[in-house]
Copies of this chain bind each other. A is one copy, B any other.
Amino acid sequence: MSDGHWVPPTVLLTVDLVIFTLRESELHVLLIERGVDPYRGALALPGGFLNHEQEDLLPAAHRELAEEAGLGPDRLHLEQLGIYGMPGRDPRGRVVSVAYLAITPRLPEPLAGTDAAEASWTPVAQALSGEAPLAFDHQQILTDGVERAREKLERSALATAFCGPTFTIAELQAVYEAVWGVRLDPRNFYRKVQSVDGFIVPAGPTRKTDGGRPARLFRSGPRTTLHPPMTRPQDLPGKEKT
């Protein structure tokens, strides 16, 4: 401990991104096919090393987001998910990864301007199924990201980040149903989101088509935290006593 010659070990830092979106009412995550060697050919979360010693973590995450998904910093939620530093997780040495969670509306498919053209949206259920194991410990990171997103939907207005600038209440409901993996009653959902003041606000005189009556359009309101929270059904991992 007081060895005058001891020097602390250094590590390599990477930033990895869990980028979620919704497609066909299903939660998708952006994965890339690795073109270089550890885990070459395997699917992995987008990410990479810090560029230089002075690069801050959040900007690095935004840089990766732009490089690998073509997504600018606008309108984009990005939050720290956790740090993954188990020795041996990366065969190249001691590599510690800072994971960030990002959420984006559905994009025009091509991911134009993307550095890694092999980037593709993959259903989360498929990515976690194990049929094509993810590189490194990215399965764990993705699992944690899903759980974090589920929690965020309960207490924050983040669900609107999955939607475009305007959206119907049914579309917002589809977000909750996809992320939580449940079915919700449209009438109760309708009243609930309307009753949370500032969550969503009417947009324009508005209408839109589907197959039935046109729905009003909304945009996300100023409120970022939800009180009372949206309640997730099956939220009862605890009635074992019955």
Chain A interfacial positions (CB closer than 8 Å to B): 1, 8-13, 49-57, 67, 80, 82-83, 85-87, 93-94, 96, 98, 115, 197-198, 223, 225, 227, 235-241
Contacts and interface: CB of A to CB of B under 8 A. Distances in A.
Contact of A10 (B1, B12, B237): B12
B80 A82 contact: yes
Main secondary structure of the interface of A (DSSP, over half): loop
A53 B87 contact: yes
B8 A241 contact: no
A228 to B, nearest CB: 8
A11 B8 contact: no
A175 to B, nearest CB: 21
Contact of A52 (B9, B56, B236, B238): B9
Contacts of A10: 10-12
Contact of A11 (B53, B197, B241): B53
Please tell me how many copies of the chain the complex holds: 2
Given A53-B9, A80-B83, A225 B197 contact: no
Contacts of A49: 8-9
A125 to B, nearest CB: 24
A13 B241 CA distance: 45
11 contacts: A8-B12, A9-B50, A13-B85, A13-B96, A54-B94, A83-B83, A85-B98, A96-B96, A197-B241, A198-B240, A223-B238
A52 B1 CA distance: 11
Contacts of A86: 56-57
Nearest to A229: B229
Contacts of A223: 238
Given A9-B52, A57-B85, A197-B241, 17 more contacts: A1-B115, A8-B13, A9-B49, A9-B50, A10-B12, A11-B12, A53-B87, A53-B94, A56-B87, A57-B86, A80-B82, A83-B83, A198-B238, A198-B240, A225-B237, A227-B235, A227-B237
A9 B14 CA distance: 10
Contacts of A57: 83, 85-86, 96
B115 A98 contact: no
